[in-house]
Structure 1
Amino acid sequence: MDENTDPQNASPGRIGVTYRLIAVVVRAASRVLARREWRGGHHLPVAGGYLTVINHNSYVDALAYGHFQYSSGKPPHFFVKASLFKVPVLGAVLRATGQIPVERRSSRAADSLRAAYEAVRRGECVAIYPEGTLTRDPDLWPGQPKTGAARLALMTRAPVIPVAQWGAHEIAPPYARGGRRVRFRPRPTLVVHAGPPVDLSDLFDAGLTVPVLREASNRIMDAIVALLEEIRGEQRPPGNGT
């Protein structure tokens, strides 16, 4: 289903100037360079903060998902490596659009979680790749999820919307598989499907223990995989991502 028939394809509301300018460029480019198939926008909450959890199989899939999410009227705030905030121009753009710096393996690693928590409490959308990195599966199925998305979900008790995307890897395959570079021919179709919220309500008062976080993480990833299986028309092979 094209974005124009998606019931959640609303005009953006309270969005900063920088975000709007970037969106104009990305949307114009995507219309020329790729086809789009967007579904499930009605699952994105109209009011209040929430999390979206997405599979990650290309360096450019954030643009496809970001376009889909932006058109809901609530742009996404991603976790981004803190080092990128120091890059001239790029750092200024990341700060202006409210992206969340992540400093792994440091005493400030928890700052990103606090920043994301506050963003959700303010009514924003925080977008998370549960794997924490590009998939390394040769068939591009999601791998083992980390517990960050589950921890944030249980802390905020906000809706968790699973999103599966497919097609961006045709433009920029992860780790340049087979030596391929960025390409737009044949014209790819960027598919983004959102599903209903993942039910974690029975875990809210169970404590942030390792078993609870693992259970929540698995539910989140299972919901993403189910959407991806629908998009790809095949099931994930047993053992992948477990």
Structure 2
Amino acid sequence: MPTTALYRSLKILGSPLLTGLYHHEVMGLENLPKGPFIVASNHLAFCDSIFIPLALPRTVNFLAKSDYFTTPGLKGRAMAAFFRGVGQLPMDRSGGQKSQESLDAGARVLAEGGIIGIYPEGTRSPDGRGYRPKVGVARLALESRVPVVPIGQIGTDLIQPSGSNRIHLRHDGEPIRVRTVIGKPLTFEKYTADVEISYRSQREVADTIGAAIRALSGQEYVDVYADRVKKLMADEHLSADEAASRLQNEKR
């Protein structure tokens, strides 16, 4: 997928700006492989999708939630045009065939030698902790047979805290510092030898990727899906901790 003029412009202008505002530090660039690969990161704030592409020397096409492309009205059309302009692809998170079609679009980018970015948890963390990854990232990695590069984002949740539309430059009176920590690539050859990739294999691969991300970000792990926590928070006016605890108790 070719790099757009908007993507190049944002990279040229945005990188020095955000480095100056947020002291953006990138660690582990030497771990990036050549050829196609998947970037798998934790997701703390909307701006993760800005900091990560700025950190990597090559173009990253993120799978972004489809709502960004389907919001009605003038604002929605402008938002969709922006996301397409920066090379993001709509990701339908409803499951089934629609989600598979979104992953297929990502697979085509990888087949052309590109880089796909994905957030394995499927949504932003509601409280800064790391939640159970979904298997979409595993399916994409195993079907495309490309390495997965784990990335830990640190500090972006302070720029735009969960539930807030405000952008912050400081936290508790101190400048916010953002770190993008790039881990060593993960490969999963032992799974791709199977004629048919089982759900169990996908689950193991997704959990391995999630653990690698948390090792870089330092996040506490919560063994439930973040989108289920968010739904329970909205439906019953619970905190993230209360909702996660209830869901964990239901699993026992």
The letter of the residue matching 2:149 is I
> For residues 13-47 of structure 1, what are the alpha-carbon distances to aligned partners after superposition, in whole Å with 9 as ceiling and x for unaligned?
x733121112233224303311022111111123x
Provide TM-score, normalisation by structure 1: 0.80
The equivalent of 1:37 in structure 2 is: 25
Residue 173 of structure 1 is aligned with which of 161, 167, 171?
Answer: 161
Q: In the TM superposition, what are the counterparts of 1:1-242 in structure 2 within 5 Å?
A: 15-46=3-34, 48-69=35-56, 72=57, 74-86=58-70, 87-105=76-94, 108-136=98-126, 138=127, 140-176=128-164, 181-185=166-170, 186-206=174-194, 207-229=196-218, 236=220, 240-241=222-223
* Runs of 5+ unmatched residues, structure 1: 1-13, 230-234
The letter of the residue matching 2:178 is L
* Runs of 5+ unmatched residues, structure 2: 71-75, 225-252
Task: Please say if residues 59 and 173 of structure 1, whose CA atoms lie closer than 8 Å, have aligned partners that are also in contact.
Answer: no
- The Cα shift of 1:155 comes to 0.3
Length, aligned pairs only: 213
Supply the distance in 1 between the matched residues of 2:24 and 2:37 (Cα, whole angstroms): 24
In structure 2, do the counterparts of structure 1 residues 220 and 107 end up closer, same or farther at CA, with 3 Å as the change threshold? closer
Deviates more, 1:81-90 or 1:191-200: 81-90
Supply the distance in 2 between the matched residues of 1:41 and 1:127 (Cα, whole angstroms): 16
The letter of the residue matching 1:58 is A
Task: Please say if residues 141 and 241 of structure 1, whose CA atoms lie closer than 8 Å, have aligned partners that are also in contact.
Answer: no
In structure 2, do the counterparts of structure 1 residues 150 and 107 end up closer, same or farther at CA, with 3 Å as the change threshold? closer
The letter of the residue matching 1:128 is I
Supply the distance in 2 between the matched residues of 1:215 and 1:108 (Cα, whole angstroms): 23
Supply the distance in 2 between the matched residues of 1:104 and 1:145 (Cα, whole angstroms): 13
Is the partner of 1:38 in helix, strand or coil?
Answer: strand
Task: Please say if residues 146 and 187 of structure 2, whose CA atoms lie closer than 8 Å, have aligned partners that are also in contact.
Answer: no
The equivalent of 1:4 in structure 2 is: none
Supply the distance in 2 between the matched residues of 1:147 and 1:15 (Cα, whole angstroms): 28
Richer in helix (by share): 2
